[in-house]
Amino acid sequence: MLDSTPDTQRVLVVDDNAYTLRIVQYTLEQAGYEVSTAISGPEALKLINRHGLPHLAIVDLHMPEMSGFEFCRTVHDFSDLPVIMLTAVGAEETIIEGLEEHAEDYIVKPFNAPELVARVRRVLARMENYTYTLDSTTRIDERLMINFPLREALVDGEAVSLTPTETKLLYILVRNAGRIVTTDFLLGRIWPLQEAREDRLHVHVHRLRGKIEKDPNNPDYIVAERGVGYSFRSAV
């Protein structure tokens, strides 16, 4: 269902330290955000499966069961969820890995509350608002629904499996529905560490259209903007 002006942006905080969770939650709620918390990566993934993707995740690095980087890799298999790492690890090589491969920002504990809020605002301002409601299943229209965590589309009532790349591509386009997403932006977000070419993107767009469009040769949802990139439109 279309929701072009969401009232409150949702932030998921993942940290095995209960005190840190309380402080971050209080700080961000005072700044007007809706905050949910999880004490581990697996618990955070359960919340995402149950309630849908947040607008932003703030993630610790060293946690039991699943590290912060492992959590990011898992989430980024089906989305382009922006992440801020919040951790006591200040080693230069770890910060570089975090910023190059997983996160939009990296904050070393102990943190300053006003600075945390400022960084959250900056990241969310870059990402812009999510056009559709952030539920466990994103309803595009009467014909199409998408479950990003399950990497599945429901097309005319039938489940269609999506690959990780197709899911991430679709997430980026849906997140920016109604706006043109440039080819360079898509290549950089989907293959951040690879020298990906435009024809590689075209192959995945073609396959994705074949799964969700009524007529892949005359698409309603994923529309090419000649010489620029793609936009996502509801077929209603």
Instruction: List, for residues 13-67, the tens digit of each pLDDT value.
Output: 999 999 999 999 999 999 999 999 999 999 999 999 999 899 999 999 999 999 9
Q: What is the mean pLDDT of the chain?
A: 91
Cα torsion 118, 123, 127, 131: sign: negative
Considering the domain 138-232, what is its CATH architecture?
Orthogonal Bundle (1.10)
Please, what is the Cα angle at 180 between 174 and 185, to 5 degrees? Answer: 85
d(CA 199, CA 46): 36
Above 70 in pLDDT, residue 235?
Answer: no
Percent of all residues in the chain with a pLDDT value above 90, rounded to a whole number: 79
Domain ranges of the chain: 10-127, 138-232
pTM: 0.86
Determine which helix (DSSP H) or strand (DSSP E) holds 37, and give its type and residue range: strand 34-38
According to CATH, the topology of domain 10-127 is Rossmann fold (3.40.50)
Percent of all residues in the chain with a pLDDT value above 70, rounded to a whole number: 93
d(CA 194, CA 108): 28
CA-closest candidate to residue 231, choices 181, 169, 184, 175: 181
User: pLDDT tens digits for 174-217?
Assistant: 989 989 999 999 998 898 877 778 999 999 999 999 999 999 99
Cβ burial of 109 (10 Å; 0-12, 13-18, 19+) is middle
Residue 35: both structure tokens together: 């905050």
Above 50 in pLDDT, residue 5?
Answer: no
Q: Residue 132, Cα to own-chain centre: how many angstroms?
A: 13
Do the domains spanning 10-127 and 138-232 agree at the CATH topology level?
no
d(CA 127, CA 199): 25
Q: Identify the pLDDT of residue 2.
A: 36
128 pLDDT band, cuts 50/70/90, is low
